Amino acid sequence: MSQAFTSGQASALADPDERRGGTGTLRFVLTKVAEAAASIVLVIVLGFFLFRLLPGDPVAFMARDRPTDPAQIAELRQQLGIDKPVLAQFGNYFVGLFRGDFGTSYIERRPVLDMIGERLWPTVLLVGSATVLAIALGLWLGIRAAWKRDSFFDRAQTGIALTLWSVPQFWLGLLLLVVTNGVFPSRGMHSPDAGPGFFAQGLDVLHHLVLPCVTLLAVFYAQYMLVMRSSLLGEMNADYLTTARAKGLREDMVRRHHAVPNALLPTVTLVFMQFGMVVSGAVTVEAVFSWPGLGQLTYDALHGPDLPVLQGVFVVLASAVVLMNMLAELLYRVLDPRVRTA
């Protein structure tokens, strides 16, 4: 994680204007933004050509098990634009991107951007809520475990977290489905029987959200817990804690107001990186619960293969990660003065 900051630090150090304040920060920000923009362009180019290496023929997929004559197949190729040379296809694609046109899905024949838009919200709702809960639960348990290091609580919590972390998500999901025995719906985000109106619909979505969210939460929280635990352990013997205790502060206060804020720094990057991944969804959990998110869209698109959809999803996901990474670097500079002045 720490390598991510070295380039930023190096450029700040090499800048003689740094001590004068503003200019250095602006330059740092601009550099980071430029780096992010360059990464995204690279992603677009790589994405296009990488997906062209995938095996499979979308037209063969569409024609399978269905009477089709060669004329129909040739027409399909022409309609999809895959009868043109790859470079020409790339040109059209690249120019289109600047107009917000991510192309048209081979299978559904709809604008890719519309399809991604429809799937983004369910994924952000599912993975986002699971991530927020996982951060809360993970940090809380991590702090408790570190503070009571080597206690039964610590060992039990670390054990449980590591176990859940290594359990396959789809298996956990299926297990929850069987164990809850129909209390929660097993598929989708909406029920056709939900009443009309915003309230009934909202409740219906929440009802559907429970199982997939709990599944993801169970798997996600471990990393926050473990990072928080080890980071807090690193702070535990610091002198400033002794000072705080010497002032007569209760142990609770020492932990909450002195140790934890310092130990939180390493988790900031983790949290931002994870938020970048929020849109990528959780393919297996989305599949088990038929959750109509981006992960499932990607999975379905791989089977075609539906290249425009794959490219679109790839660009959106990679951009989200790049942007969140950039934000993490910028924010770290704000949060930790050592990065600015060291």
Nearest distance from C-beta of residue 281 to another protein, angstroms? 12
Let me know the angle formed at the C-alpha of 150 by 232 and 159, rounded to the nearest 5 degrees. 90
Using CB under 8 A as the binding rule, whether residue 190 contacts another protein is answered as yes
Question: Which residues sit opposite 104 in a β-bridge?
Answer: 111
Number of neighbouring beta carbons within 10 Å of residue 234: 14
Q: In this chain, which of 20, 22, 69, 246 binds another protein, going by CB under 8 A?
A: 69
Q: Which is nearer to another protein, 239 or 252 (CB)?
A: 252
Could you tell me the two tokens for 53? 């290496």
Residues 97-116 that bind another protein (CB under 8 A): 107-111, 114
Residues 26-55 that bind another protein (CB under 8 A): 54-55
Q: Which is nearer to another protein, 152 or 199 (CB)?
A: 199
Q: Which is nearer to another protein, 1 or 86 (CB)?
A: 86
Nearest distance from C-beta of residue 238 to another protein, angstroms? 17
Number of neighbouring beta carbons within 10 Å of residue 328: 22
Nearest distance from C-beta of residue 201 to another protein, angstroms? 9
Nearest distance from C-beta of residue 183 to another protein, angstroms? 5
Q: How far apart are CA 250 and CA 18, in angstroms?
A: 41
Residues 237-256 that bind another protein (CB under 8 A): 247, 249-250, 252-253
Residue 65 phi, psi dihedral angles, 5° rounding: 60, 25
**Residue window 70-89: x/- pattern of binding to another protein, with contact defined by CB under 8 A:** xxxxxxxx-x----------
Q: Which stretch binds another protein (CB under 8 A): 8-16, 150-158, 287-295, 334-342?
A: 287-295
Q: Which is nearer to another protein, 108 or 336 (CB)?
A: 108
Q: How far apart are CA 339 and CA 23, in angstroms?
A: 16
Q: In this chain, which of 24, 47, 138, 185 binds another protein, going by CB under 8 A?
A: 185
Residues 128-157 that bind another protein (CB under 8 A): 136, 139-140
Query: Cα dist. 22→25, 26, 341 in Å?
Result: 5, 6, 13
Instruction: Please count the CA atoms within 13 angstroms of the CA of 75 that sit on its side-chain side.
Output: 6
Nearest distance from C-beta of residue 338 to another protein, angstroms? 23
Q: How far apart are CA 262 and CA 256, in angstroms?
A: 10
Q: Which is nearer to another protein, 288 or 328 (CB)?
A: 288
Contacts of 102 (CB under 8 A, 6+ apart): 96, 111, 112, 113, 116, 308, 311, 312, 315
Nearest distance from C-beta of residue 199 to another protein, angstroms? 4
Nearest distance from C-beta of residue 167 to another protein, angstroms? 16
Nearest distance from C-beta of residue 141 to another protein, angstroms? 11
Using CB under 8 A as the binding rule, whether residue 292 contacts another protein is answered as yes
Number of neighbouring beta carbons within 10 Å of residue 6: 9
Q: How far apart are CA 263 and CA 236, in angstroms?
A: 9
